[in-house]
Amino acid sequence: MKAPAPVHREGPDGLPPLREVIERYGLSAKKSLGQNFLLDLNLTRKIARLAGNLSDRTVVEVGPGPGGLTRALLIEGAKRVIAIERDDRCLPALADISARFPGRLDVHADDALEVDWPKLLEGAGPVTVAANLPYGIASLLLVNWLETEPWPPWYDRMVLMFQREVAERIVATPKSKAYGRLSVLAQWRTEAKIVLNLPPEAFTPPPKVASAIVEFRPRAKPEPACRVATLARVTGAAFGQRRKMLRSSLKQLTPFPELLLQRAGLSPEKRAEELSVSDFARLAVVLDEAGAAND
């Protein structure tokens, strides 16, 4: 009796399921790199669709790992994907994807924190950032992108995954415990909102915390207008001692914090979490006018 032919399973892109890819290349997630893989192609395709119509744009992805989201972005029609991956173990799996989508995937073995983004993306056309960010560098990378100059930035949209706690800090409102420096910077320069929540079970291996995807749309002209470097210094001082009144926490910036606050129309007895995003921007303007801010 003739043996049945082996069943060859493959995804809608003609590539093997991610579990097979991981097994083939020995790609166990590294905790030191903050790796947690998304293996469900239906889920990664949903995330890719959250990034909008990608047919005319370049997509930047950081930390693609074995390529779950990468494949989804390409299946959903991304014109081009530029993937930054510092884990050399993942490069063969990404090379398979590149071969399957000729001319549409560029992989750079690099540290995302050291990339010169405007230079890398020169001539790339409209850019969207879509990534399941490595947890260890997610906040730092986001701050780098939010503080980029000149503004408007080199991207026109970001769809990024964070630990749920970080996502809640990004969209937090004044007078809440989650409200802080990241909230102010993100909301001053972009319109930020949580668009999808994911349980730990969605990942391999499952992390100990839930995750969330945040969408960022850059504001063409953040208001009130101020220098982002000064805003970073003001929020750093205020939230660095968030339990103290502003007249105390801002002493590291100026010997006359009460005068500074008076000029900004703010009570010196308020604490950082009581100020709105606009309040902080106005405070940054006054600090620069006083000549007290230095990069």
pLDDT tens for the chain, 295 residues long, are 444 444 446 778 999 999 999 999 988 766 666 567 888 999 999 999 999 999 999 999 999 999 999 999 999 999 999 999 999 999 999 999 999 999 999 999 999 999 999 999 999 999 999 999 988 899 999 999 999 999 999 999 999 999 999 999 999 999 999 999 999 999 999 999 999 999 999 987 788 899 999 999 999 999 999 999 999 999 999 999 989 999 999 999 999 999 999 999 999 999 999 999 999 999 999 999 987 444 4
What is the span of the domain harbouring residue 235? 228-289
Would 6 be classed as within a structural domain? no
Question: Binding site annotation covers 144?
Answer: no
Q: Say whether the peptide bond before residue 6 is cis (omega within 30 degrees of 0).
A: no
C-alpha triplet 18, 51, 225: angle, nearest 5°: 135
**Is the same domain home to 36 and 170?**
yes
Q: Are 111 and 85 in contact (CB under 8 A)?
A: no
Question: Binding site annotation covers 13?
Answer: no
Would 91 be classed as within a structural domain? yes
Residue 9 has what pLDDT?
Answer: 62
Question: Binding site annotation covers 106?
Answer: no
- Looking at 172, 199, 218, the residue that finishes a domain is 218
Would 236 be classed as within a structural domain? yes
**Is the same domain home to 177 and 233?**
no
Question: Binding site annotation covers 53?
Answer: no
Question: Binding site annotation covers 122?
Answer: no
SS3 content of the chain, % helix, strand, coil (to 5): 40, 15, 40
- Looking at 192, 218, 244, the residue that finishes a domain is 218
Would 12 be classed as within a structural domain? no
Would 10 be classed as within a structural domain? no
pTM: 0.91
Nearest-angstrom CA–CA distance, 48 and 102 = 19
**Is the same domain home to 156 and 285?**
no
**Is the same domain home to 142 and 277?**
no
Question: Binding site annotation covers 223?
Answer: no
CATH assignment at residue 44: 3.40.50.150
Q: Are 34 and 137 in contact (CB under 8 A)?
A: yes
Our count of domains for the chain comes to: 2
Would 59 be classed as within a structural domain? yes
Sign, CA dihedral 160-163-166-167, equals: positive
- Looking at 187, 218, 249, the residue that finishes a domain is 218
Sign, CA dihedral 59-118-157-32, equals: positive
